[in-house]
Amino acid sequence: MPATIICIGMAGSGKTTFMQRLNSHLHENNKPPYVINLDPAVYKIPFNCNIDIRDSINYKKVMENYNLGPNGAIVTSLNLFSTKIDKVLSIVKNRSENFNNCIIDTPGQIECFIWSASGSIITESFATEFPTILAYIIDTPRCSNPTTFMSNMLYACSILYKTKLPMIIVFNKNDLRNENFAKNWMKDFESFQDSLRDNSELNDETSNGSGYMASLINSMSLMLEEFYSTLDIVGVSSYNGNGFDEFMEIVDKKVDEYNEFYQKERERIINEKKEREKIKKDNQLNNLMKDLGIKDKKKSEDNNDNNVEVISDIEEEIENDEKNGYEHGLIDLESSEREYTFPEDRNGELRDNENSNDVAKSIRDRYQQAFESNAKTASSSVAEDIAKYINGQ
């Protein structure tokens, strides 16, 4: 299955330029990707798209029709697009034999995509069908400030644990500032503290290096130490194309990691979700049946099977009753004398096969007598027909 690369990052980090360079790099290697644009507010994009959200959703009309601002219109546009995500996936799957990678550009407002319901739907939908990797794009020159660097790392950490997908940290614009300083900060806590102190000497004491802010940043850097150890880091330049070969090598490694770990974890989560939904539906059904006074046939049969008394149990109960002086309520049909409420009707009961014909004839005679006594007022023709009918019986 082709790998899906979702490019995310803060506004100004260079996501769209990164997408353009990645698209060009794959075309140069005769591996043209399948390109999807999910930014409805972008005016112009420097690459051709196979699927563009702007083709189906008019961003300005959304703002006008729903009286929304820029960010609200982006979220609403993504919500509208996510309602058709099944059709998008079917299109991508039908063409998946023609490409090795699917690259997706997202809105510059990172929170509009990552922390919205539509962003989760889109991400999880692709992750269930294809190996999906997140490329978190970082503006390297701006991260030279320790506070800005820590903010980006916290964003990356929260996105990783929310999406539960393989992530690549991409330090973009390394033609302006090399990313080695950031790699060193992630590996060596003391070097980050030294940079934080040096930065505080150049700025106001209350900005970064002292007081609450310094303590908070130091604590977060210690907390993120384990997070750093699980990340794959690469420096690229979307301007001159440096580092994209290394980036694609890491993508291939992340695909194997997805198939080995993340896919199993996602299947476990999906199965647990289905099990919870099944239990919830069963509970709702049971409550509905109780409200309607309907018993579960299967459970009733199971209860009846569990409560069945065998002959030995009944005999033991009778013996205990007799020992305690209680009557068990059973009679001996062979030796007992039956009492009849109407003794004259005794001959009407069927005792054996020998007397069954005589009893049946006696019953017909009684019906005939009753008919003759009550049919005197009826017409003779009708009486004769009924008499014939009764005699025929």
What torsion do the CA atoms of 200, 189, 12, 83 make, to the nearest 10 degrees?
A: -140
pLDDT of residue 146: 87
What crossing angle do the helices spanning 211-223 and 146-163 adopt, rounded to 10°? 40
Per-residue tokens: 297: 């046939």
Q: How confident is the model at residue 208 (pLDDT cuts 50, 70, 90)?
A: very low
- Of 320 and 118, more confident: 118
Q: How many percent of the chain have pLDDT more than 70?
A: 71
Q: How confident is the model at residue 372 (pLDDT cuts 50, 70, 90)?
A: low
Q: Please check the confidence at residue 370 and state whether its pLDDT lies above 70.
A: no
pLDDT of residue 218: 79
- Tens of pLDDT, residue by residue over 280-337, are 888 888 887 777 766 555 555 555 555 544 455 555 666 666 666 555 444 444 444 5
- Tens of pLDDT, residue by residue over 50-86, are 999 999 999 999 999 999 998 899 999 999 999 999 9
Chain-centroid distance of CA 63 in Å reads: 31
What torsion do the CA atoms of 287, 290, 294, 299 make, to the nearest 10 degrees?
A: 70
Q: How confident is the model at residue 235 (pLDDT cuts 50, 70, 90)?
A: very high
pLDDT of residue 230: 80
Q: How confident is the model at residue 348 (pLDDT cuts 50, 70, 90)?
A: very low
Helix H, strand E, coil C: the string for the chain is CCEEEEEEECCCCCHHHHHHHHHHHHHHCCCCCEEEECCCCCCCCCCCCCEEHHHCCCHHHHHHHHCCCHHHHHHHHHHHHHCCHHHHHHHHHHCHHHCCEEEEECCCCHHHHHCCHHHHHHHHHHHHHCCEEEEEEEECHHHHCHHHHHHHHHHHHHHHHHHCCCEEEEEECCCCCCCHHHHHHHHCHHHHHHHHHHHHHHCCCCCCCCHHHHHHHHHHHHHCHHHHHCCEEEECCCCCCCCHHHHHHHHHHHHHHHHHHHHHHHHHHHHHHHHHHHHHHHHHHHHHHHHHCCCCHHHHHHHHHHCCCCHHHHHHHHHHHHHCCCCCCCCCCCCCCCCCCCHHHHHHCCCCCCCHHHHHHHHHHHHHHHHHHHCCCCCHHHHHHHHHHHHHC
* pTM attached to this predicted model: 0.68
Mean pLDDT, residues 232-242: 93
pLDDT of residue 207: 47
pLDDT of residue 215: 78
Q: How confident is the model at residue 345 (pLDDT cuts 50, 70, 90)?
A: very low
pLDDT of residue 24: 94
pLDDT of residue 123: 93
Q: How confident is the model at residue 346 (pLDDT cuts 50, 70, 90)?
A: very low
- Tens of pLDDT, residue by residue over 5-53, are 999 998 889 999 999 999 999 999 999 999 999 999 988 899 999 999 9
pLDDT of residue 341: 45
